[in-house]
């Protein structure tokens, strides 16, 4: 190919891939809302780009079917989505027991172990999911893997208290290998600051198998919020 021809073809292929991914997210999100949300439920609303489609569909159903749904957000983004769609906003003070929480994921392995937190909202997502009777994860084909790390290459997100990011990072690497890197902001100098005013470490692990054990061990490190 001539250079500009190649760029054109290459560019449109990439565009096609993005369109497919968006369509997959939308289909999965609509199916999750249609199959798992019923009238008179308190619903936890996750964060990320897939959940946007789920909230679109939820708002459509609330309008069309006149559903009575109360929404508990897992982030600033989720709160905005709920408000923008005219849905009923609540919180864990008023609704500490949820019927269902619905959220995206970065990767899902064969045992349904998840990597979450690509969007940086993992702590509140986990709290809200922990209050729900059912946790529904919307994951399209790109997130499906046999073992974690096959699809998601950015590491396991771990939220940390800012003053503890170096000790926590060192403790993770010492115990399990790999490297836990401070996530830096893109349109701001310095680190990403979470909705809880914390930092995020992305742990690029070399190999890990017993995720239950790894999760518990990381949770025991003072300063982490995972």
Least distance in Å: CB of 8 to ligand 5RP? Answer: 28
Least distance in Å: CB of 61 to ligand 5RP? Answer: 20
- Compute how many residues bind ligand 5RP; rule: CB under 6 A: 17
The answer to whether 44 contacts ligand 5RP (rule: CB under 6 A) is no
Per CB under 6 A, the list member of 50, 169, 194, 224 interacting with ligand 5RP is 50
N-term to C-term CA, the chain = 49
Least distance in Å: CB of 9 to ligand 5RP? Answer: 27
The answer to whether 151 contacts ligand 5RP (rule: CB under 6 A) is no
Parallel, antiparallel or unpaired: strands 69-73 and 132-138: unpaired
Least distance in Å: CB of 85 to ligand 5RP? Answer: 17
Q: What's the burial of 78, exposed, middle or buried (CB within 10 Å: 0-12/13-18/19+)?
A: buried
Q: Where does this chain touch ligand 5RP (CB under 6 A) — which range of 35-43, 120-128, 185-193, 198-206? A: 120-128
Q: Where does this chain touch ligand 5RP (CB under 6 A) — which range of 85-93, 114-122, 203-211, 217-225? A: 114-122
Is the Cβ of residue 1 or residue 200 nearer to ligand 5RP in the bound state? 200
Q: How far is CA 107 from CA 75, 139, 140, 145, 167, in A?
A: 20, 8, 9, 7, 27
Q: How far apart are CA 150 and CA 8, in angstroms?
A: 30
Placement of tokens 């995720």 in the chain: 211
Least distance in Å: CB of 73 to ligand 5RP? Answer: 12
The answer to whether 107 contacts ligand 5RP (rule: CB under 6 A) is no
Enumerate residues 6+ apart whose C-beta is below 8 A from 13: none
Q: Is 125 assigned a catalytic role? A: yes
CB 72 within 8 Å of CB 128: yes
40: alpha, beta or left? (left if phi > 0; alpha if psi -120 to 50): left
Annotated active-site residue in 2, 125, 206, 209? 125
How many Cα atoms sit within 13 Å of 39 on the Cβ side? Answer: 5
Per CB under 6 A, the list member of 104, 149, 155, 223 interacting with ligand 5RP is 104
Q: What is the contact surface with ligand 5RP in residues (CB under 6 A)?
A: 46-50, 103-106, 116-122, 125
What residues act catalytically? 125
């Amino acid at each position: 190919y001539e250079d500009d021809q190649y760029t054109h073809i290459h560019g449109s292929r990439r565009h096609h891939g993005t369109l497919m991914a968006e369509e997959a997210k939308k289909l999965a999100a609509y199916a999750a809302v249609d199959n798992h949300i019923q009238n008179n439920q308190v619903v936890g609303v996750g964060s990320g780009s897939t959940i946007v489609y789920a909230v679109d569909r939820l708002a459509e159903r609330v309008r069309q079917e006149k559903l009575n749904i109360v929404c508990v957000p897992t982030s600033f983004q989720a709160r905005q989505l709920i408000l923008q769609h005219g849905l009923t906003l609540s919180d864990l003070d008023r609704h500490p027991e949820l019927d269902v929480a619905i959220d995206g994921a970065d990767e899902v392995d064969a045992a349904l172990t998840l990597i979450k937190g690509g969007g940086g909202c993992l702590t509140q997502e986990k709290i809200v999911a922990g209050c729900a009777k059912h946790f529904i994860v919307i994951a399209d084909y790109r997130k499906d893997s046999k073992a974690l790390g096959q699809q998601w290459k950015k590491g396991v997100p771990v939220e940390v208290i800012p003053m503890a990011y170096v000790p926590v990072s060192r403790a993770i690497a010492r115990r399990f290998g790999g490297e836990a890197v401070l996530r830096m902001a893109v349109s701001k100098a310095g680190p990403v600051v979470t909705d809880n005013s914390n930092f995020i470490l992305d742990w690029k692990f070399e190999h890990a198998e017993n995720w239950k054990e790894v999760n518990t061990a990381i949770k025991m490190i003072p300063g982490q919020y995972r």
